[in-house]
Chain A
Amino acid sequence: GQNIDQPTEMTATEGAIVQINCTYQTSGFNGLFWYQQHAGEAPTFLSYNVLDGLEEKGRFSSFLSRSKGYSYLLLKELQMKDSASYLCAVNPGGYNKLIFGAGTRLAVHP
């Protein structure tokens, strides 16, 4: 089966750092994606990992360990606008299909 797990909700303080974890078990693996989604809006692409290690993009970083089936998204210097859902998704291979986790709703408070 295909399974992607991430926490349902998290809260953090403005200016702080938060780490959102994602574990996956899929039939194949051809990359892991993080998307940001504000309520009722389209998911927007944040990051992509296909090899083990850390990818950094400004305030956002994403880490992958393929042997552990584990990834995390690290958000630094949190801003109020970072309040959103963060979706972890895996491409199991073959074509552009993405299998999504249920998403982590992050609330940033002052």
Chain B
Amino acid sequence: EAQVTQNPRYLITVTGKKLTVTCSQNMNHEYMSWYRQDPGLGLRQIYYSMNVEVTDKGDVPEGYKVSRKEKRNFPLILESPSPNQTSLYFCASSSSVRSFPLHFGNGTRLTVT
């Protein structure tokens, strides 16, 4: 089954403790991106990747890092999480940089205390 898989689904952590949210797609998609979703603000793009080893900032990149060492994986790294990063995170992919629609993973609900 074609899908975008995120792990974990739920995560509660404390301020400053490094964490990684994984994202993997099995569709051989070139384009992957991360969004965060907050009430009243909609989905906002954090980072995106057009292909292996090609990443760039989205609209809200502060406090996040990403890497794209393999085509299928695009982890989101929070080096020192803070409470304002409490949010619902979605990974998305599409077959190429100008193709739609975006396929979204099931989301990771992160709480930073």
Contacts and interface: CB of A to CB of B under 8 A. Distances in A.
A96 B95 CA distance: 10
B48 A40 contact: no
Q: What bracket does the count of chain A residues touching chain B fall in?
A: 20 to 34
A96 B90 CA distance: 15
Interface residues of B, number: 28
Interface in B55-69: 58
Interface in A39-53: 40-45, 48
Interface in B93-113: 94, 97-107, 109
B50 A42 contact: no
A44 B104 contact: yes
Contact of A33 (B40, B45, B101): B101
Interface residue SS majority, chain B = strand
Interface string A72-110: 000000000000000101010001111011110000000
A40 B107 contact: yes
A109 to B, nearest CB: 23
Contacts of B104: 42-44
19 contacts: A33-B100, A41-B106, A41-B107, A42-B104, A42-B107, A43-B104, A48-B100, A87-B43, A89-B43, A96-B48, A96-B97, A96-B98, A96-B102, A97-B48, A97-B58, A98-B45, A100-B42, A102-B40, A103-B42
